[in-house]
Each structure stands twice: as C-alpha cells, then as structure tokens.
Structure 1
Amino acid sequence: MVSIPEYYAGKNVLITGATGFMGKVLLEKLLRSCPQVRSVYVMVRPKAGQSPQTRIADVINSKLFDRLQEEQPDFAEKIIAVNSDLTQKDLNLSKEDQATLAEHIHIVFHWAATVRFNEPLKDAFQLNVLATQKMVTLAHSMKHLEVFLHVSTAYANCDRELIEEVVYTPPVDYRKLIESLDWMDEKMVSALTPKLLGKRPNTYTFTKALAEHLVQQEAGSLNVAIVRPSIVGASWKEPFPGWIDNFNGPSGIFIAAGKGILRTMRAANDAVADLVPVDVVINTTLAAAWYSGAQMHNRPKNIMVYNCTTGGINPFRWGEVGKLYFFFKINPLERAFRRPNLNLRSNPFTNQYWIMVSHKLPALIHDGYLGLTGREPRMMKTINRLHKAMMVLEYFTSNSWVWNTENLSMLMARMSPEDKKVFNFDVRQLNWAEYMESYCMGTKKYVLNEDLSGLPAARKHLNKLRNIRYAFNTILVVLFWRVFIARSQMARNIWYFVVSLCFKFLSYFRASSTMRY
C-alpha cells in the first residue's frame, strides 16, 4: 500500500466542522504532514457578521498553525472556504458550490456536530442526525469520492458495558423519529425525551448512535469508515504538547481545580477516565481514511469502525485525575480563589456535604466580602455553573466501559514504520504523568492566555492563600476552645486526657526508636 502522505497527494478533501476544536487540528495536521494534498474545502457558515473566509482566516492565524506557517508559508492557498449551513435545506450550498464539490472531492471528513450534552433533543437531532443525512446525500453526488469518514463518539453506545467495533441498531428507528419530531412541539418532545434516551444519559450520545445507524443504512455504494473517540483532551505531541483552546470536557474541570474553585467532585477512583489526546484522534482519522481509500476496490463488506480509546490499552483512572492539584501547586494559575486541592468522592451524599462546605460556603463568604466593598458578587454564580457542568459529567466519571480495539490494532499493523512515526496513535507510549503536566500547562498558556513570566507572582499568591488558611484555622481552634472547652470542666478533662494520651504515644515511639539504635 502507498504511504499516507502519498495517498493524499493530489487529492481534494472536504471537511465539516473545521472551525471546531478537533476540526482545526485535522486541518493543520493534514496540510503539514501531507504537503502534496491538492486542496482542502471547508464548509463554514457565516457567524456574528463574519464571512466563512474571515472565520477561516482567524483559525489559521492562531498559534496552532505557527509551525505550519514556518514550514509551508503558502499553505493557506490550498484552503477553500465554502459558504454552508448544515441545518438548512441542501446545506445552504449554492448550485455552483454543489457542482464544484460533486466534481472535485475525493475524501470527506464529517466532523461537524453539537457536543453539548444537554442540548434539547430537536436541536441535537437536527445537528447530529439530519445534518449527517444531508452530508451522505451530498456524498452520493460526488463523482470521484473514495472515502466518507464519519466521526462519532465512543459513548454512542454507552448503554452497553462491552462496545465492539460495529454499528449497533438503536432501539428507535431514525426515520420514524424524523417524521415524529417534524410535527411535535417542544413540550411533547421534552416529555418524550427520557423514554427515548432509555439508559443513555443525554441527547448527545443518543443522537450520535442514530447518526451511525443512518450512515450505515444510507451509505449504499459509499466507502464509509467511522472513528469513535472517547473524551478528547489536549494534544500529546503535535503540533506541540498541551495545546487546547476551550473549556469543554476535562479542560474546564482542570482549570476549576487549578483555580481552587473545584474542591470536590463525584467520581469513582477506580473508574477509567478514558481520555484521549486530540492528536491521537486526528492521526487515527487520517490513517483510517487512508486505509479505506487505498484499498477501496478490495474493501470489506462491513463499515470499518475504530474505537479510538485508551482505557483498554493504557488505562488512566479518575483517582489519578484527583492529583491534578500537585501540578497546579508547582505551576499555579494566576489569581487563584483558593489553593488547589481536589477530592473525589463516590458517595453522592458525602459529595453533597462537601459541596456545601468547600464550594457554597466559601462562595457566600467571598460574595459577602465583595458586596461590602461595593463590588458585584460573582462567585456563587460561578459555583452554580460549575455544579451544572459536573452533574452532566457524573455519569462518565462514575462508570467504566470495555471497548474492543481490534480494528485499531489492525490499522496500526498495516502502516509503514515511517507512517507510524508521523501519524502516531499508539497510546501504549503515552506517559500519563508527563501528559497531564503538559495538559495543565496548556490550559494556562492557551486557554487562559497566562504568560509563564507571571509564575513567581502566582506562586506568591498561593503562599498568601496558604497563610490565610493557617490563620483562619488557628482562629477556629481558638474559638472552639473558648466556646466549648474553656466553659466546661468535663470538656477540659476530655481534652487533657486526649492530649496526654498523644504525648504518651509519642514518648513510647521515641523510646522505642532510641532502644533500636
């Protein structure tokens, strides 16, 4: 088989979702590692008064593309922005653009989707299912199409404990749901949603499962592959370690923990946190399209599905995520609310208690201080938003799944040694401690835009918070003594008994140590 860069040479590629987190990384990696690709068409809708061309210009002028800019200064000439809206009829494509895409496209990467877990069902269905249906219809018109690669999620079938690399038939026929949602009002849809979801936790996983089945049913003669990433995080190696540009998913948790706002969260310590670096997902995607396209005349009968996960290969557990505060104490975030200290609790009642003590009470005290000094109280609003986000994630932090990755292993085995280096997705090589440290630094540099020159001041601020904590604890002990101990003879006797017992133990251990030496 030809190498991956050789396969993409001279090809025209179409990408949806290129302005999103993963779409940007795909665009950068494709252009940098496959320099002979002919053109990359990106379907983009106008937004906030910006044209598709302006939005793409903003994307490629970001730090993510600095390395590509150095290596290939003229790379932007290959990018063609296409005015489109996936929620509109015919994708809102002009007749001219439809004809251009039909005549020139060889490979389609369908990334566009809503990733909001709590999206109303109608909205999630329109963006994740109907938009996919329109893209499949468009793909059928493409005369030279070799591969249609659909990006799903590893949690599309999270109602199962074992998830294999196959397309499962969902309990609801997407065709019937299209007809039903067309005439139902929002109130009816909202009432019906829990029954439709069944064991699935949200509309995101449900609609992604429907989209997979739709692709399978309507693919026809199309050469289709599906990639299912799990929880996508910051980059591992490319274009540089720790790159991340949003608060979504684990990034928001890490930042809240680093700021000292998030002190407790519900999670099972031994549950697998199936985190996968974004560059691993992109490399898997480019390799999957290469494999399907390079052997399109000798392809398997079934759709190739790739579970792009880490849990079964190199597991990382939520209990280890709880140690994030260690990294943030070494390289603290600026203007932290409290010293980082995150505790994971599996018991919901215990977690609720610590939410009151560690989150809401300090927030109320802080907001009271802001109110007294004439400033707008804001911490309680932040805490409430954080709790809403954490409630959405509890399902994933409290459960584990087993993913079959045989197709992923097969794909890796078919790659040449050089391709394995350039398009590396072997997570067995991933050192989690190093990755998490670079991830935490990435949130500081790329999400919060904090300069590393501010680290000494941030460390000084943490020391100040530590001293405040020690002073506060001392005051509490004194108050406890004055209110409860000093006024009661029985309390004093108990106190003196406990203190004397402690001294006896210390004396015993000191004597034992002396005798030993």
Structure 2
Amino acid sequence: MVTIPEYFAGKNVLITGATGFMGKVLLEKLLRSCPDVKAVYVLVRQKSGHAPSARIADMVNCKLFDRLREEHPNFPDKIVPMSSDLTQPELDVSREDQQTLVDCINIVFHCAATIRFNEPLKDAMQLNVLATQKIMALAHRMKHLEVFIHVSTAYANCDRSVIEEVVYPPPVDYKKLIDALEWMDDKLVNLITPKLIGDRPNTYTYTKALAEYLVQQECGSLNVAIIRPSIVGASWKEPFPGWIDNFNGPSGIFIAAGKGILRTMRASNDAVADLVPVDVVINATLAAAWYSGSQRYTRPKSLLVYNCTTGGINPFHWGEVEYHVISTFKRNPLEQAFRRPNVNLTSNHLINQYWIAVSHKAPAFLYDLYLRITGRSPRMMKTITRLHKAMILLEYFTSHSWVWNTDNVTMLLNQLSPQDKKLFNFDVRQLHWAEYMESYCMGTKKYVLNEELSGLPAARKHLNKLRNIRYAFNTILLVLVWRIFIARSQMARNIWYFVVSLCFKFLSYFRASSTMRY
C-alpha cells in the first residue's frame, strides 16, 4: 500500500466545516503533511458581510498555520473557497461550482455541524441531518469520488452503556421526522422534543445519530467511513502542543476554574473524562480516508465506523482533570483572576446547589454590589448565569462513563507504515495526561485569552494578594463568630474550652511520645 502522503498526492479534496475547530486543524494538517495534494475545496458561507475568500484569507493568518506557512509558503494557492450555505437548497452552491466539484473531487470530508447542545430540534435537524443528506446527494454525482468521510460523535449513541463500532438504528425514521417538521410550528416541536430524544441528553447527540443512519441508508455505492470522536480538546503535538481557539466544551470550564469563578461542579470524580486531542482525531480521520480509499478495489465494500476515544485505552478521570487544571493554574495563573483556583466536584445535587449558592451566587452578588457602589456596571451575576447554563449542559457527560469498542481504530493503526505512524500518530497509549493537561491549560491562556507569558509574575502577585485577602476575611469572620455567638453563651464557651483543651492534650501526648522515642 502507498503511504498516506502518496495517496493524497494529486487528489482534489472537499471539506465542509473548514472554518470550525476541527476543520481548521484538518486543513492545516492535510496541506502540511500531504504537500502534493492538488487542491482543497472548502464550502464557506458569507458571514457578517465577509465573502468566503476573505474569511479563509483571515483564517489562514492565525497562529495555527504558522508552521505550515514556514514549511510551504504558497499553501494558500491550493485552497479554493466556494460560497455555500448548507441550510439552503442544493447547499446554495452555484451551478458552475457544483459542476466543478462533480468533475474533480476525489475525497470528501464532511465536518460541518452545529455543536450547540441546546439547539432547537428544527435547527439541529437542518444542520446535522438535512445538510448531510444534501452533501451525500452531491457526492453521488461526483465522477471520481474515492471515499466519503463523515465526522460524527462518539456520543451519538450515549443512551447505550456499551458502544460498538456500528451504526445503530434510531428510534424514529429520519424521513418521517423530516416530513413532520416541515408542517409543525416551533411551539409544537419544542413540546415533542423531550419525547423524541428519549434517553439522550440533547438535540445534538440525537441528530448526529440520525445523520449516521442517514449516511448508512443513502450511501449506496459510495465508499464511506464514519469517525466518532469523543470530547475533542486542545492539540497534543501538532502543529504545536496546546492549540485551542474557543470556549466550547471543557475549555470554557477550565478557564472559569482558572479565573476562580467556577468553584463547584456536578461531576463524578471516578467517571472517565473521555478527552481526545484534536490532532489525534484529525490524524485518524486522514488515515481512515487513506485506508478506505486505497483499499476500495481490494476489500469487500463495508461502512467502517471508528470510535476515536481514549477511555478504554488510556483512561483519565474527572477527578484527575480537576486536580491537574487547578495545579496548572496555581503555578501559572490567569491574569486578573476573580478568586484563587479551587473547584469542588460532587455528584450530589443538593450539595452542589448549596455550594453554588455559597461559592458562586453570594460572591457574585457582593462583587456586583461593589461595582454598583463604585459607579461601574455589574457583570458577575451574568457571567455566573452563563456558566451555570454551560455546566448543566455538561453534567450528563461529567457524571457518566461508557465502554467503547475501538477494534477498527486498532486495526487502522496496525495498517500504517512505520513512517505514517510517526507522521499521523493517533496512538493514545502514548498520551501522558499530566503533560497534556498542562499544555491544554496553557493553550487556553495563550490562544483563547491571548495572555502573554511575560505577564505571569504579575498574575502570581495578584494570586498571592487574593490569598492574603482570603486569610484576612476568614480571620475577621472567626472573630465575629466568637464575639456574636461564643463570647455571649456560657455553653458555647464551655464547648470551645473543651475542644481547645482536647487539642492541647493531644499535642502534649504527641510531644511526649516523640521525646520518649528519641
């Protein structure tokens, strides 16, 4: 078999969702590691008055493409932006552009989707299901298509505890649902949504499951593979460690913890945090395209599904995530932290609500009161409200664990040549979680918050100041409790003296025992 770069040489590739987090990394990796690829066509919608070509030009100027820019300065010449809107008929692609794609495309990567968990069902269906149907219809017309890669999610079937690398039939016929949603108004759709999604936590996982089944049912003679990543996080190694560019998923939670805003979260310490670095997912995606494409004439036709997860191979738990995030941000604090980083994970709803009231809402209210008194606009309660909404959406995934079958991923890894194993590494057994979490947290500091490392001394000084404020506050609180409750009550004083005397006796005994030993 040819190597992965050799397979992509001279090929025309189509990517949907190229401006998204995974799409950017896919585009960069493809152009850097497969420099002989002929052209990469990207479907991009016009946004805020910016044409697709302008959006792509702006995107490739970001730090993610620095390494590619050094190694292959002319890489932008291979990117061909095409105006498109996946929610519109025929993807809103002009007839001329459609014909271009039909005549030249060899490989399709369908990465576009809405990743908002609380998207209304109609909107989620438009972007995750109907758009997939339209892309597949266009793919059927392509004269030289070798492989179609559909990017799904490992949580598409999260209503199951054991998830195999197969496409599961959904609880409802997607065609009937599409027809029904055409005549239903939004109010009716919102009423029936909980019944439709059943045991799944949101419309995102539900519609991704429908999309997988649609791909299986409508692929026909197409050579198709499905990639199912779990919680996609910052890069592990490529193009450099810790690259991340958004607040989505765990990144926003990590930043909130580092800022000292997040103090409690409903999660199970022992639940597996199935984080997977974005470059691992992209390497597996390119390898899957290579395997299915290069083997299309020699192996029986089958739809391969790859569970791109870490939990069954190199497990890492939410309690460990919390420890490493807090440790990293105490050593390398974020600028202008609200409080010192400290998070309490609990699976108990009532305890979590108590800590939310004490550690989130009360400090936020007091801080906003201070801002009002000093003539500034209050903002902390709004921040806390947004944070709680995000936490509620993530609770399901931080409180459960799943068993993933990853036989196809193992098979794919074993098919790679030694050269490709180095260049397209997705062996998560090599992932050292402590190092990865530190680079992830530092990535949020550098690339999401745009904080320079030169500001670390000032940030550490500010953190020490917050520690001193906390000690002073606790001391004042203890004195007030003494004056109000203990000093005025004989019973309270007796209890206090009993506790102090017990502690004194214990210390005396400990000191005497130590003296006798020596």
Q: TM-score band (shorter)?
A: over 0.9
**In the alignment, structure 1 residue 498 sits paired with structure 2 residue 502:** no
- 1:229 Cα deviation (Å)? 0.2
What is the SS of the residue equivalent to 1:313?
Answer: coil
In the TM superposition, 1:280-359 aligns within 5 A as 280-323=280-323, 324-359=325-360
In the TM superposition, 1:144-159 aligns within 5 A as 144-159=144-159
On the 8 A contact 2:103/2:142 being kept in 1, the answer is yes
In the TM superposition, 1:67-466 aligns within 5 A as 67-323=67-323, 324-466=325-467
TM-score, length basis structure 2? 0.99
Root mean square deviation of aligned Cα: 0.6
What is the SS of the residue equivalent to 2:235?
Answer: coil
Q: Tell me, which stretches of 5 or more residues in structure 2 are unaligned?
A: none
- 1:498 counterpart letter in structure 2: V
- 1:157 counterpart letter in structure 2: N
Equivalent-residue separation in structure 1 for 2:333 and 2:412 (angstroms): 40
Residue 35 of structure 1 corresponds to: 35
Equivalent-residue separation in structure 1 for 2:394 and 2:183 (angstroms): 32
Deviation digits for residues 84-116 of structure 1 (CA, Å, limit 9, x no counterpart): 110000000111001000000000000000000
On the 8 A contact 2:223/2:301 being kept in 1, the answer is no
- 1:299 Cα deviation (Å)? 3.3
Equivalent-residue separation in structure 1 for 2:373 and 2:260 (angstroms): 23
- 2:286 counterpart letter in structure 1: L
The number of residue pairs the alignment matches comes to 517
- 1:125 counterpart letter in structure 2: M
Deviation digits for residues 33-59 of structure 1 (CA, Å, limit 9, x no counterpart): 001000000000000000000000111
Equivalent-residue separation in structure 2 for 1:418 and 1:311 (angstroms): 27
Equivalent-residue separation in structure 2 for 1:268 and 1:8 (angstroms): 43
TM-score, length basis structure 1? 1.00
What is the SS of the residue equivalent to 2:156?
Answer: coil
What is the SS of the residue equivalent to 2:314?
Answer: coil
What is the SS of the residue equivalent to 1:408?
Answer: helix
Q: Name the stretch that deviates more: 218-227 or 490-499.
A: 490-499
What is the SS of the residue equivalent to 1:322?
Answer: helix
- 1:298 Cα deviation (Å)? 2.4
What is the SS of the residue equivalent to 1:82?
Answer: strand
Equivalent-residue separation in structure 1 for 2:156 and 2:75 (angstroms): 35
What is the SS of the residue equivalent to 1:305?
Answer: strand
What is the SS of the residue equivalent to 1:296?
Answer: coil
- 1:326 Cα deviation (Å)? 1.0
Deviation digits for residues 281-337 of structure 1 (CA, Å, limit 9, x no counterpart): 000000000000001112333300000000000001001122121110100000000
Deviation digits for residues 118-148 of structure 1 (CA, Å, limit 9, x no counterpart): 0000000000000000000000010000000
- 2:499 counterpart letter in structure 1: V
Equivalent-residue separation in structure 1 for 2:181 and 2:398 (angstroms): 32
- 1:362 counterpart letter in structure 2: P
Equivalent-residue separation in structure 2 for 1:481 and 1:161 (angstroms): 52
Residue 476 of structure 2 corresponds to: 475
Residue 8 of structure 1 corresponds to: 8
- 1:490 Cα deviation (Å)? 1.5
Deviation digits for residues 262-284 of structure 1 (CA, Å, limit 9, x no counterpart): 01000001000000000000000
Q: Tell me, which stretches of 5 or more residues in structure 1 are unaligned?
A: none
Residue 488 of structure 1 corresponds to: 489
Equivalent-residue separation in structure 1 for 2:299 and 2:55 (angstroms): 37
Q: Name the stretch that deviates more: 491-500 or 443-452.
A: 491-500
Equivalent-residue separation in structure 2 for 1:299 and 1:335 (angstroms): 58
Equivalent-residue separation in structure 1 for 2:156 and 2:242 (angstroms): 27
Equivalent-residue separation in structure 2 for 1:121 and 1:378 (angstroms): 31
What is the SS of the residue equivalent to 1:226?
Answer: strand
Equivalent-residue separation in structure 2 for 1:300 and 1:169 (angstroms): 22
Equivalent-residue separation in structure 2 for 1:195 and 1:478 (angstroms): 55
Residue 66 of structure 2 corresponds to: 66
- 2:476 counterpart letter in structure 1: I
- 2:309 counterpart letter in structure 1: T
- 1:511 Cα deviation (Å)? 1.4
What is the SS of the residue equivalent to 1:420?
Answer: helix
- 1:514 Cα deviation (Å)? 1.8
- 2:351 counterpart letter in structure 1: T
Equivalent-residue separation in structure 2 for 1:298 and 1:203 (angstroms): 39
- 1:342 Cα deviation (Å)? 0.9
Equivalent-residue separation in structure 1 for 2:300 and 2:163 (angstroms): 20
- 1:75 counterpart letter in structure 2: F
Residue 44 of structure 2 corresponds to: 44
Equivalent-residue separation in structure 2 for 1:172 and 1:221 (angstroms): 25
Equivalent-residue separation in structure 1 for 2:213 and 2:294 (angstroms): 24
- 1:431 counterpart letter in structure 2: H
Q: Which runs of 4+ in 1 moved over 2 A?
A: 298-302
Q: Identity, % of aligned pairs?
A: 79
What is the SS of the residue equivalent to 2:175?
Answer: helix
- 2:416 counterpart letter in structure 1: M
